[in-house]
A = this chain, B = another copy of it.
Amino acid sequence: MTPSATTPSGTESPADLIITGCTVLLHDDQERLGFAPDAAIVVRAGIVEEVTTAAEAEGRAALERIDAGGQVAMPGLINCHTHAPMAALRGLAEDLPTEEWFNGVVWPVESNLTERDVELGAQLACAEMIRGGVTCFADHYFTMDAVASVVARCGMRALLGEAFFSSQGARGRERSLEFALRHRGAADGRITTALAPHAPYTVDDADLAATAALARAHGLPVHLHAAENRDQTDTSLARHGVTPIEVLERTGILDADVLIAHGTGILDRDLPVLARAGGRTAVATAPRGYLKFAWPTTTPVRALRDLGIPVGIATDGAASNNSLDLWESMALTSLVQKSAEGDPRWLTSRQALHHATLQSARAVGLGSSVGSIAPGRRADLILVDVTGPHTRPVHDLAATLVHSARSADVRTTVVDGRVLMRERELLTIDVPAVAEELEERLPALTRRGHGRRVQRYDT
């Protein structure tokens, strides 16, 4: 369906959904943000047909109508890097250095994971994300068939990748490819897929090169961790004489479309490497965990932006981040970047919203279909209440959204024109049932006496 410019007429068939009375966050053709008050959004067949005035939409027929007075309509938020099933491990490994977090808790526990654990963890994560206004997430985990099934049922959009280590042999990479091909375009197109090598320190060069060849051959993007922290970069330099980003270049990964998680260990010498990347490169930043692990640096957002690289916002998994709250990640990105650059004028609220909307959409390979509310785009959008005492008065609506609003202010979440949460009521996931079954499984899931690990952290 193409964008419609029709005016109301008695013969036009009713729209599927009209949201009216809201202020709409819009992007202009210069990628600047603006706000249209007293607006209405007309949705048909899962697509934004028109953004018009509330007055103009009054006479339009619609199968469903949402009065969104006092609310802001925004593009749905996109969690550009997470491990949804790890919601099951939220709070299990606290106040630990990275190595102990992996080797002492997370990787031993992950050797117990069953498909049902993954499915329940992903359901809990999707429930949290829908409630927090996240409409799309990029997931990187194991047993991803279970996650794909959850995404299909709960109505979210996702970029999914089956993670692998070289310790699994060639079979890991093959399974990642099989997953990507099997699920690409599933759930009415809401599922897209990526190849998902874990990281340059757990996937060797030959395996990365083979992955790059598969990405090219099948037109698949690659989603992986790289230069997560400065230690990983230092170790890579000491062992191999190259940085993790240089490893991605020499193995051909940078000739594919690639989504790099974290990149807090990206050095100045990596910037020209990223600048000459043959594919589309994007980086996901999830600053909460960097603080919690006491990593010495954060994602170099300003340097990446200077290269034109989109930087999307992310939460990482709940086992390290404790939440999948994109609002917190968006605000922290602004705060931490100001601090890291020593510049309070940098990463304004409008920039933060641009990262959380269009840049995040680009980061997950959906830059032409979601990330803004405009005719022809998929109708992935959220309604945010700004009438609470903590969001009044509004001197600057962008600042209100980034620095004052909270995830619980999201009233309604819509994906592909379908309402997944209405007035804070989740419509597609039964949280008490999921949480109850998951909690029964925790003693078996969290057992660590067996001495097994899915992998060893040794950067």
- Is B396 in contact with A91, judged by CB distance below 8 angstroms? yes
Stretch at the interface among A17-25, A26-34, A93-101: A93-101
- Is B94 in contact with A339, judged by CB distance below 8 angstroms? no
In the complex, which residues 384-436 of chain A have their Cβ closer than 8 Å to any Cβ of chain B? 387-390, 392-396, 399-400, 403-404, 406-409, 429, 431-432, 434-435
Q: Which of B292, B348, B390, B395 lies in contact with A335, CB distance below 8 A? A: B292
Roughly how many angstroms separate A42 CA and B439 CA in the complex, as a whole number? 31
Cβ–Cβ < 8 Å partners of A429 in chain B: 389
- Is B348 in contact with A95, judged by CB distance below 8 angstroms? yes
Q: Assess whether A255 is interfacial by the CB under 8 Å rule.
A: no
Q: Assess whether A291 is interfacial by the CB under 8 Å rule.
A: yes
- Is B95 in contact with A388, judged by CB distance below 8 angstroms? no
Stretch at the interface among A61-69, A126-134, A234-242, A374-382: A126-134
Q: Assess whether A188 is interfacial by the CB under 8 Å rule.
A: no
Q: Assess whether A296 is interfacial by the CB under 8 Å rule.
A: yes
Roughly how many angstroms separate A226 CA and B377 CA in the complex, as a whole number? 52
Cβ–Cβ < 8 Å partners of A127 in chain B: 389
Task: Given the known inter-chain contacts A95-B344, A294-B342, please indicate yes or no for A325 contacting B89, CB distance below 8 A.
Answer: no
Q: Assess whether A438 is interfacial by the CB under 8 Å rule.
A: yes
Q: Which of B288, B346, B399, B439 lies in contact with A393, CB distance below 8 A? A: B439
Cβ–Cβ < 8 Å partners of A344 in chain B: 95-98, 292-294
Identify the closest chain B residue to A127 (Cβ): B389
In the complex, which residues 202-236 of chain A have their Cβ closer than 8 Å to any Cβ of chain B? none
Number of interface residues of A (CB under 8 A): 70
- Is B389 in contact with A131, judged by CB distance below 8 angstroms? yes
- Is A343 in contact with B294, judged by CB distance below 8 angstroms? yes
- Is A438 in contact with B124, judged by CB distance below 8 angstroms? no
Roughly how many angstroms separate A106 CA and B328 CA in the complex, as a whole number? 26
Identify the closest chain B residue to A391 (Cβ): B90
Q: Mark A291-332, 1 if CB is under 8 A from B, else 0.
A: 111111000000000000000000000100011110010000
- Is A339 in contact with B406, judged by CB distance below 8 angstroms? no
- Is B345 in contact with A97, judged by CB distance below 8 angstroms? yes
Question: In whole Å, how far is A119's beta carbon from the nearest beta carbon of chain B?
Answer: 15
Question: In whole Å, how far is A296's beta carbon from the nearest beta carbon of chain B?
Answer: 7
Identify the closest chain B residue to A96 (Cβ): B344
In the complex, which residues 320-379 of chain A have their Cβ closer than 8 Å to any Cβ of chain B? 322-325, 328, 334-336, 338-339, 341-346, 348-349
Q: Assess whether A113 is interfacial by the CB under 8 Å rule.
A: no
Task: Given the known inter-chain contacts A91-B399, A343-B294, A395-B446, please indicate yes or no for A406 contacting B408, CB distance below 8 A.
Answer: yes
Roughly how many angstroms separate A30 CA and B53 CA in the complex, as a whole number? 62
Identify the closest chain B residue to A343 (Cβ): B294
Roughly how many angstroms separate A291 CA and B334 CA in the complex, as a whole number? 9
Roughly how many angstroms separate A295 CA and B404 CA in the complex, as a whole number? 21
In the complex, which residues 79-122 of chain A have their Cβ closer than 8 Å to any Cβ of chain B? 87-92, 94-98
Q: Assess whether A442 is interfacial by the CB under 8 Å rule.
A: yes
- Is B95 in contact with A393, judged by CB distance below 8 angstroms? no
Cβ–Cβ < 8 Å partners of A87 in chain B: 389, 392
- Is B389 in contact with A95, judged by CB distance below 8 angstroms? no
Roughly how many angstroms separate A295 CA and B339 CA in the complex, as a whole number? 7
| Chain B CB within 10 A, most for which of A91, A394, A446 | A91
Roughly how many angstroms separate A343 CA and B294 CA in the complex, as a whole number? 6
Roughly how many angstroms separate A393 CA and B128 CA in the complex, as a whole number? 12
Question: In whole Å, how far is A317's beta carbon from the nearest beta carbon of chain B?
Answer: 13
- Is A407 in contact with B404, judged by CB distance below 8 angstroms? no
6 closest cross-chain pairs (CB), A and B: A408-B408, A322-B403, A127-B389, A291-B335, A91-B395, A91-B399
Q: Which residues of A contact B (CB under 8 A)?
A: 87-92, 94-98, 124-125, 127-128, 131-132, 288, 290-296, 318, 322-325, 328, 334-336, 338-339, 341-346, 348-349, 387-390, 392-396, 399-400, 403-404, 406-409, 429, 431-432, 434-435, 438-439, 442, 446
14 A-B pairs within 8 Å (CB atoms) are namely A87-B389, A92-B396, A95-B338, A98-B344, A125-B389, A128-B389, A292-B344, A294-B338, A294-B342, A294-B344, A323-B403, A324-B390, A387-B432, A395-B446
